[in-house]
Every structure is written in C-alpha cells, then in structure tokens.
Structure 1
Amino acid sequence: MQANQTSNMRRTLLMGLSAGAFLNACGGGAGDDIGLQPRIIDFGADRANALVGETVRLTAVFANGSGRIEPMIGTVSSGIAVQSPPLAGPTRFRLIVRNGNAQVERELMMPVGYRNRYRVLAQSFNVARHAAVALGDGSVLAIGGSRGNFTLSNKLTRYDPATERFSDIGQLASGREYHSATVLADGRVLVVGGTISLAGFGASELIDPRSGAVTATGALQKHRQGHTATRLNDGRVLVIGGWGPGGDALGKHASAEIWDPTTGRFRLLPALMQTTRAGHTATLLNDGRVLVAGGFSGMAAYRFAERFDPATETFTAVASVHNEVRAMHGAHRLSDGSVLLLGGENASGSAASSAVLRYVPAQQRVDSAASLTAPRSIVASVLGAGDRVLLFGGADINLLATSTAESWQPDSGAAPLAAMPRTRIWHSTTMLADGRVLILGGEDHQHHFVGDALLYE
C-alpha cells in the first residue's frame, strides 16, 4: 500500500513538472525562463498599411522571455493584441524579447499615407498674418493677427484637436501682426515684435497656454517685423533682422539680439550680420548653431546665407551656389541635419521661385536640389514624417494667392497634392500630433478673409 502511494505521488509530481515545462516553452510562464534562449514566433498587424491619424493593432507571439514593442507601446504579453497611438507617418515598430542577457528582435514596417483630401471644420475662423504654434498637449495656439476688425487682434485662440473647436483663452496687451511666436522649454510662448496697434507699447509678451495668462517681458532693443526668433539649445531666444527704425536706408536690420529667460531682457549683440535681412529664415542646426538664409536686403554685396555661433555670438558667411536675393521662402531641418530652403521671391517682390536649395553642414555649403512643381512664395509649409515637406497655398509666380499644394521629399523630389478648396495666402499651417495638418485663416486672391479652417488628412 505504501509503495503504491509513493509511486502515485512520483507520477503526479512528474506530470506537474512536464506541464509546467510545456507552458514555459510556449511563453505561458509568469516570468523569464533562466537559461532558455528567447524566441520570436510571430509579429504582425491587423492591416498591411494605415492612413494618417489611424491606429493599428499589433500582436507579438514569443517565448522564453519578456517582450516590449518600440516606439510608443512598451511592454507586451505574448499573443495579446495591443493598439498603437494614432500614427503620424510611416512607422517602424521593433519587437524586443529579452531573457537575462540574451535578446532577440524583429521589425515591422507600417506604411502610413494621406488620404490626400481636405476636411472643412464646422467652426469658421477669420484670421490672417497671425502666428500659430503647436503646444505640448497637442493643441494649437493662434496668436493675434488681423481678424476683420478696425484694429489688429490681441486674441489668443486655442484649437483642440479632440473636439475640433476653437476657443479664446486670453488676450495680449496689444494687437499684433507679422510678429513671431516661440515655444520655450517650459511650454510658455514668447511673442516678439510685429506691427503693434497700441501706440508706444514695445514690450514682448509671455503666454502661459495652460491658463491663458499673459505677462510683459523685456522690450526689443530695436523694433522689428519680418524678423526671425529662434530658441537656442540653452533656452535663450535669438532674434534676427527684420524691418524697423534703426535699420539701413530701406529700414532693414543687420543686427541681432538675444532674449534671456533668466532676466526677461533683450541684449543687442555687438556683432552684425554680413547682410541686412527681412523676410529671411533662421534654422537651428544639430550642433546648436543657426543657419540664417535669404531675406530682402538693400546691400550690394549680398550674401545668401550665414551661420550664427551662440558660443562666440558671431556670424560667418556660408558658401552658396546661389547668392541672389530670396525671401519669404520656407525652411526645414531634415533628419540628417541638412536644411531645405524652398521657394520664395526675388529682390523686387515681383516673381516667385520654384527653386529648392539645401544646406549640408558637413560641406558648409548651400547647393541646388530638385525644384518644386511650381513657383511659390510666402511659403506655408510643414515637415512631416520621413522628411516629407508639405506646402499649401501661398503666392504663385505672379504673387497672387494660389490654392495649389505639393509635397517634397529628398529621394523623390516634388509631387502635386490635391488643391485646397479656395486660394489662400497669409495663412498658417501646423502639423498636429497625429500627422494631419491644420490650415488656418488667410486671404484669397481678392484679399477677402478665408474663414474655412481645414484639416489636410
């Protein structure tokens, strides 16, 4: 009797050990299986491709380890589907299964494209020559501009992508247009310069986008519009060029100044640019320096581009295949650190250009790239996933408002997009977190407000 009981206990124990070993081999164990090599059995999605703003469901089947999916997802369980956040562009997912020091990986590329269409939002919004910035919470803040009143607007209007509604959250001390708006490291927004409706008001303003509260900060040493404002890596803001009192005979500045968040004041730099500029671009480079390119200028010895070094606070000319005046163009830094300069107009402001230039830091030179499909100035553009630039409206070759749109990519050049429902100039384009583009305000070719707010998706 005792021998039979012992035999039964041994049989039960062995069966339990075998069942546990089977579950661990299939990835069903509660933890890592020490000493076993991690394995990926399958990694797939519920579809072969997606559209911008859509989510996908990913399923990973693996054994002998713990798994996670990057980016955006994190830890996953074997065989359990997980949903991605809305996708803003082509996304390469990576499954990593790890057991101790052993690790295996597998990638899944999810193509994500646009429907190439516009959707008119239910709420209209008349505004032009304003500033618009994307905020950390995914909303967009439209600041000032002309809104159809007898004076420039001082309103701060937030767009909520979840509700697709606009709401006023605060007011500047004065109405402005042709001003700049720069998002600071702490999320506040610095508003500088422009045409100001309140006589004698020269202060810049700080916006808290969470509360809508606005406080005055230091005044520019030289009043400017058509300038640029660039946040440096150390948190300071570099303000360059523009039109205004104290410039050259045509009112254009070669000067620059820096706003310091620790003091709230602007300091005029001793060094001048090599060229007076207004309507130029200033793009932060990977090494912390700033590429300054183009702009209207009254100087005979015009240099198309120069570079600002925040360590020495000096400007150095950049070699360029092109040294003719180009202003009101677009500029975007690509993932490889180079800078695209797209479109713009000539010195007299009489014709737009289709030319695209590219600054390559390793060569420290501006060279030609594949042209746009059509001349375009007063460029309104955004940089999307995969270094794809999307350009909407602006001025055509005759500097009249256009409804055309196009994209530009380093590997394929330019391609037309669906035209907007109406011609549009002096509008803003803002890339949303899910990859769609908010196209806001502007005027048509007859200088009437375009109140239709669009989502390109």
Structure 2
Amino acid sequence: MSTHRSLAAGQTPAAAAPAAGTWTAAGALPGPAYWAGAQSGAVPLADGTVLMAGGEDHRRNAQDTAVLFDPAAGEWQPTSALSVSRRLHTLTKLADGRVLAAGGLSGPYGGVSQAGVASAEVYDPATRGWTATGAMHEDRFAHSATVLTDGRVLVTGGVAPRSALSQKALDSAEVYDPATGEWTPTAEPMNDARGGHPAVLLRNGTVLLAGGMVPIGRGLYAGQSFCEVYDPAAGTWTPTGDLGSVRKSHQATLLRDGTVLVTGGDSPGLQDDWTYNPYSQWTAERYDPATGAWSAAEGMSTGRSHHRAVLLRSGRLLVIGGTDDSTFDVGYQNAEVYDPQARTWTPTGGMVEGRWAFAAAELADGRVLVAGGLVRSGAAVPDNADVVTGSTEIFTA
C-alpha cells in the first residue's frame, strides 16, 4: 500500500534542502563590487546578519556603500553608508559586537601616488549607523587587523606612497582600544615591512604575520617568506620560521589543533628547490607555534591567488575560487575542502560564477556566503575594464 500523500488543492511541494557540497544563488548586491583586501569584506553580526562595507568598482574607485545580508530572507538590505569611501581597508568585528572600519584608499582611483587614509569609524548594529573614532597615527592601506584576547585591535603594516611615482611597505603597527577610541603605536616596529599579509591570532594570544608583499617598482610587487610574531603582553616582535615559498595574496587559517595552514598565493620565479614556477601556488604549508617552524602540507588541486579560505564547523577548511597571478584574467569556480586530520584535499561543488577578490563569511547555521568579486580582467576583457559581479552564493557544507 502506498504511503504517498497527495497535495491539497493550491498546495505546492516544499523546496528540497540543498545537498551538501553544493552552491545556491542568493540575492544580488545593490551593485557589483570586489574586495582585494582579505580583511575588508564580510563580517557576521550577532543577530545572524552579515555586514559588508566599502570595496571597489570595475574602475577601482572606492565605495562607501554598506549593506546587510539576511540569511533567513535571502535578501540584501541597505544600511548607513560609510562616512569615508574605502577600499583595501580592514573591517573587524569588535568583542562588543560593533564593527571597526580602518584605513584604506578613498575616493576615485589615484594610481601608485594615492595615499591611504588614517581615519576609522565604528558601526553599531543597534542603531545601524557609523560613528567616527580616533584616527590611526599613520595613513595606510592593504594592512591587517586582528582582535587581541583583551578586545583591543592590532593593525600592522600596509602600503603608503614612497614618491609621486612609487610606493613603500610599512613596518609600523598600532593598537586600537575600543573603550577609549584611541590608537597607540606598538613599543617597537615590525622586523619586516609588509603589506597584503594575513595575520592570525594564535591560541597563546600572540599574533602571527605570514609573508605578504613589498613594492619593488612602479606597480610591481614581490612576495615574502619572512614571518614574525607579536606578543601583546611585552609589546615586542620576534622573527619566527620562514615560509618555504615566498607568498602574497595567500590565505592563513588557524586550525582546530592550534596550527596554521597557509594556502596558495602569488609566488612566481625560482622556488626553494630551485625549480621555476610562473604561476600561482598550489602548495600549502603548516605552522607549528610550539616549534616556530613551517612544514610542507598536502597541495591543493590547483594553484590559486586572491582566493578565500573559511574554517567549517567540522574543523575542515573550505578553499574557494581565486585566480592565477601570471594573468589575473579569469576567476575560478573551483572549490575544495581540506581535512587537517586526514591531511587530504577533496574537491567539492564549484561556485555558479567564477570569481576572485570576493567577500566570504560563515553564516550562523554553518553555511558559507560569498559575494561580489572580479570575474574577468586583463586579456579576458575587450576594453581593459574589469568585469565585476554583484552576484552572491551560499555553500551548504
């Protein structure tokens, strides 16, 4: 006897839940945008919504738009705009649930002579408004921002003009106190100037900086293998083990066991084994804070730069999209998952639209949101105008 129940008149079947390892389209952003800074994209808020602010358009002009994504409704909602347009800034969730936007480049694209801004502002989810807070001691963009265990925020490095025709990396660092709204330079500068670098808060409360880039000419940048650790208690910087390969535009993620996994990045040229690689890295490396050393980890299926890495609740790591630094022309749809215990990579469903330099964040229910990004650029476009998307997608783990 069949147990099937027929639907009543006018009733529609319930939509099937997305299968694990798949992407589904979500509502579109108000306009196309991308986020070349790894820490300037999406921030999950306490109420389950996700805040995105700033970014850049297809002409690399800074944006002041701020929007909220409501996962329950699958919709984007406008919220108060930034008081200063920003790209290559940092967007950091504070311990009290507010969000700090700091530094970046503002206004129309200004080439290599354009200076960053020192201003900062704070978003309050309760009022959905931005309030100016203390300015940093130095103008900077392409820097990092890390919330320390005591709730203060460490900002490190970045890039600034060197002359009217060139740029320089910064070795300065400063700490923001949300209670006072003031910035204090660290007792000593970093050992190495760097920008575009990932920063990771380790289990012992120190902060690891891994690789990054330094300008070496007009519009030219070199990757780094140098790493160092900041001790907030002492206010000091200490060199630690070097990466096996120089890297920029890579990702660094704290795993559940306290080690750090670095994936991909731009690393053209001679490698540490004297082989030549003109493409983005497919290799990965793992840092052990107990020894201060990096060891080779299992490589990804493909090289990628300007990708995103999101730690899932299972403890596995989802690596998404990206591009190749030899051409920077097409965004990848590809995604794969790393199992730190098994030390294996497994392909998973690819995004509906390939992209790089996009925003990504884990939602309250464990799904992963991606939004915006570059789709095509360089030789892949007819008029030298980047193709930027406003589409968003959700990954079901």
Query: For residues 275 and 150 of structure 1, what CA distance do their matches in structure 2 show?
Result: 28
Q: Which moved more, 1:122-131 or 1:438-447?
A: 122-131
1:235 aligns with 2:151: yes
Contact 2:88 2:142 in 1 (8 A): yes
Which residue of 2 is the match for residue 171 of structure 1?
81
Shift of 1:140: 0.4
Which of 146, 149, 167 is matched with 2:56 structurally? 146
Which residue of 1 is the match for residue 296 of structure 2?
368
Using a 3 Å threshold, how does the CA distance of structure 1 residues 278 and 149 change in structure 2: closer, same or farther?
Answer: closer
Which residue of 1 is the match for residue 3 of structure 2?
none
Using a 3 Å threshold, how does the CA distance of structure 1 residues 131 and 301 change in structure 2: closer, same or farther?
Answer: closer
Deviation by residue 1:291-334 (Cα, 9 ceiling, x = unmatched): 11010136999652111100111111112362x42111111111
Paired positions, count: 343
Query: For residues 123 and 366 of structure 1, what CA distance do their matches in structure 2 show?
Result: 40
Which of 238, 241, 244 is matched with 1:319 structurally? 241
Which residue of 2 is the match for residue 414 of structure 1?
345
Which of 231, 234, 238 is matched with 1:309 structurally? 231
Using a 3 Å threshold, how does the CA distance of structure 1 residues 242 and 122 change in structure 2: closer, same or farther?
Answer: closer
Shift of 1:441: 0.5
Which residue of 2 is the match for residue 430 of structure 1?
361
Deviation by residue 1:396-445 (Cα, 9 ceiling, x = unmatched): 36343222111111114212222222221111111111111111001212
Using a 3 Å threshold, how does the CA distance of structure 1 residues 215 and 347 change in structure 2: closer, same or farther?
Answer: farther
Tell me the secondary structure at the aligned position of residue 305 of structure 2: coil
Query: For residues 332 and 176 of structure 2, what CA distance do their matches in structure 1 show?
Result: 36
Shift of 1:250: 4.1
Deviation by residue 1:351-389 (Cα, 9 ceiling, x = unmatched): 310111111122221211111111011121211023211
Deviation by residue 1:196-227 (Cα, 9 ceiling, x = unmatched): 12999642001102221111111121111111
* Amino acid in structure 2 at the alignment position of 1:195: L
Tell me the secondary structure at the aligned position of residue 389 of structure 2: coil
Using a 3 Å threshold, how does the CA distance of structure 1 residues 276 and 385 change in structure 2: closer, same or farther?
Answer: same
Which residue of 1 is the match for residue 260 of structure 2?
339
* Amino acid in structure 1 at the alignment position of 2:292: Q
Which residue of 2 is the match for residue 54 of structure 1?
none
Which residue of 1 is the match for residue 249 of structure 2?
328
Shift of 1:127: 1.9
Please, what TM-score do these two structures have when normalized by structure 2?
Answer: 0.80
Using a 3 Å threshold, how does the CA distance of structure 1 residues 291 and 150 change in structure 2: closer, same or farther?
Answer: closer
Which of 378, 390, 393 is matched with 2:318 structurally? 390
Contact 2:227 2:243 in 1 (8 A): no
Shift of 1:255: 1.3
Query: For residues 368 and 298 of structure 2, what CA distance do their matches in structure 1 show?
Result: 24
Deviation by residue 1:258-305 (Cα, 9 ceiling, x = unmatched): 111232121222412221111111100111000110101369996521
Tell me the secondary structure at the aligned position of residue 420 of structure 1: coil
Query: For residues 303 and 377 of structure 1, what CA distance do their matches in structure 2 show?
Result: 16
Using a 3 Å threshold, how does the CA distance of structure 1 residues 266 and 114 change in structure 2: closer, same or farther?
Answer: farther
Tell me the secondary structure at the aligned position of residue 139 of structure 2: coil
Using a 3 Å threshold, how does the CA distance of structure 1 residues 425 and 303 change in structure 2: closer, same or farther?
Answer: closer
Using a 3 Å threshold, how does the CA distance of structure 1 residues 218 and 350 change in structure 2: closer, same or farther?
Answer: farther
1:359 aligns with 2:287: yes
Contact 1:303 1:317 in 2 (8 A): no
Q: Which moved more, 1:348-357 or 1:277-286?
A: 348-357
1:209 aligns with 2:125: yes
Which residue of 1 is the match for residue 389 of structure 2?
450
Contact 1:222 1:244 in 2 (8 A): no
Which of 279, 284, 304 is matched with 2:196 structurally? 279
Query: For residues 122 and 397 of structure 1, what CA distance do their matches in structure 2 show?
Result: 30
Contact 2:212 2:224 in 1 (8 A): no
Tell me the secondary structure at the aligned position of residue 374 of structure 2: coil
Which ranges in structure 1 are unaligned for 5 or more consecutive residues? 1-112
Please, what TM-score do these two structures have when normalized by structure 1?
Answer: 0.70
* Amino acid in structure 1 at the alignment position of 2:264: G
Using a 3 Å threshold, how does the CA distance of structure 1 residues 315 and 419 change in structure 2: closer, same or farther?
Answer: same
Deviation by residue 1:227-262 (Cα, 9 ceiling, x = unmatched): 100010111110011111479x74101111111123
Query: For residues 392 and 321 of structure 1, what CA distance do their matches in structure 2 show?
Result: 22
Q: Which moved more, 1:441-450 or 1:141-150?
A: 141-150
Contact 2:170 2:194 in 1 (8 A): yes
Query: For residues 285 and 254 of structure 1, what CA distance do their matches in structure 2 show?
Result: 21
* Amino acid in structure 2 at the alignment position of 1:116: G
Query: For residues 73 and 25 of structure 2, what CA distance do their matches in structure 1 show?
Result: 14
Deviation by residue 1:126-171 (Cα, 9 ceiling, x = unmatched): 2212521111111100111125699532121000111111011111
Q: Which moved more, 1:290-299 or 1:341-350?
A: 341-350
Contact 1:320 1:367 in 2 (8 A): no
Which residue of 2 is the match for residue 157 of structure 1?
67
Query: For residues 347 and 180 of structure 1, what CA distance do their matches in structure 2 show?
Result: 27
Using a 3 Å threshold, how does the CA distance of structure 1 residues 397 and 449 change in structure 2: closer, same or farther?
Answer: closer
The residue correspondences of 1:234-313 to structure 2 (distance < 5 A) are: 234-245=150-161, 250-297=167-214, 304-313=226-235
Tell me the secondary structure at the aligned position of residue 213 of structure 2: coil
Report the aligned-residue RMSD. 2.6
Which residue of 2 is the match for residue 190 of structure 1?
100
* Amino acid in structure 2 at the alignment position of 1:120: A
The residue correspondences of 1:48-59 to structure 2 (distance < 5 A) are: none
Contact 1:205 1:216 in 2 (8 A): yes
Q: State percent identity of aligned pairs.
A: 34
Contact 1:353 1:376 in 2 (8 A): yes
Which of 392, 395, 403 is matched with 2:333 structurally? 403
Contact 2:41 2:360 in 1 (8 A): no
Query: For residues 303 and 122 of structure 1, what CA distance do their matches in structure 2 show?
Result: 39
The residue correspondences of 1:9-48 to structure 2 (distance < 5 A) are: none
